[in-house]
Amino acid sequence: MQRQPVPANVLALIAAAALGAGLVAGCGGTQDGGVSFARDVQPVFDAKCVSCHPVSFPQLDLRRGRAHAELVRVPAATNLAFQRVLPGRPELSYLLTHPPDPLLVDLVSDAERDLIRRWILEGARDN
């Protein structure tokens, strides 16, 4: 039996799924699709957030070595009905649901938000 070549559109769908799942190296995830807090998420905070957190916003310290403890299962200071990060539930995590400062709405890219969303969905581990 002769193998049929895989159609280009099927290959494109497989590649898109692999990228979306973080299975391709360099796409914010390990080979098994896991997102690491230290390797993937903290660098976003380092680059985009620590200049204001905790300097201008002392209620949330996002510096390396402090961010995870300040986020996971901690009530949001401005909305106590939410936790800052509720593991497994990005839709209920204040970090992703609160309205950003209108001047900073584009500070974190869609790809970075998706990475953080995946980290939360995977259990918001301190890894």
Q: Return the DSSP state at 63.
A: S
pLDDT for the residue 2: 54
pLDDT for the residue 8: 44
Q: Where are the alpha helices (DSSP H) in 65-121?
A: 67-71, 94-97, 110-121
pLDDT for the residue 93: 97
pLDDT for the residue 22: 43
Residue 73 has pLDDT above 70, yes or no: yes
pLDDT for the residue 42: 98
| Domain locations in the chain as residue ranges | 8-121
Q: What is the mean pLDDT of residues 72-82?
A: 93
Q: What is the mean pLDDT of residues 20-49?
A: 74
pLDDT for the residue 31: 52
Residue 10 has pLDDT above 90, yes or no: no
- Cα distance from N-terminal residue to C-terminal residue, the chain: 47
Torsions phi, psi of 68, nearest 5? Answer: -60, -50
5 compared with 33, residue with greater pLDDT? 33
